C-alpha cells in the first residue's frame, strides 16, 4: 500500500460515520458507472453513425410488424 493511500485511510477513519458512508458511496459510484456525460456522448455518436449508415442505404430495415412477430415467437 502506498504512503498516500495509507494517509488517506487514516484520514478517512477520522471522519464521522456519516462522512465515511458518503465517501464510500462516492468511491463505489466512481467504480461502477462512467459519468453520465460520457454515456450520453457515446449514445449521441452511435445515433449519428446509425442515421448516417441508414441514409447511405447501408442498413437493413425491418418492419415493426416483423419485429413484434419475432418477439412473440421467441417469447413462446
pLDDT digits (tens, 9 = 90+) for 4-28: 999 999 999 999 999 999 999 999 9
Q: What is the mean pLDDT of residues 39-43?
A: 91
More confident residue, 33 or 31: 31
Same domain flag for 42 and 60: yes
Same domain flag for 23 and 46: no
Per the structure, the complete domain to which residue 6 belongs is given by 1-33
Q: Is the predicted pLDDT of residue 37 greater than 90, yes or no?
A: no
Is the distance from CB of 8 to CB of 19 less than 8 angstroms?
no
For residues 64, 70, 75, 76, the Cα torsion angle rounded to the nearest 10 degrees is 130
Same domain flag for 54 and 67: yes
In terms of Cβ atoms closer than 10 Å to its own Cβ (0-12, 13-18, 19+), residue 23 is middle
Question: What is the helix (H) or strand (E) element at residue 13, kind and residue range?
Answer: helix 3-13
Is the distance from CB of 71 to CB of 65 less than 8 angstroms?
no
Average pLDDT of the chain is 92
Amino acid at each position: 500500500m502506498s504512503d498516500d493511500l495509507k494517509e488517506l485511510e487514516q484520514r478517512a477513519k477520522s471522519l464521522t460515520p456519516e462522512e465515511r458512508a458518503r465517501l464510500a458511496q462516492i468511491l463505489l459510484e466512481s467504480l461502477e458507472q462512467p459519468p453520465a456525460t460520457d454515456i450520453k456522448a457515446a449514445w449521441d455518436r452511435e445515433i449519428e453513425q446509425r442515421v448516417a449508415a441508414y441514409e447511405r442505404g447501408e442498413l437493413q430495415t425491418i418492419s415493426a410488424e416483423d419485429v413484434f412477430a419475432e418477439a412473440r415467437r421467441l417469447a413462446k
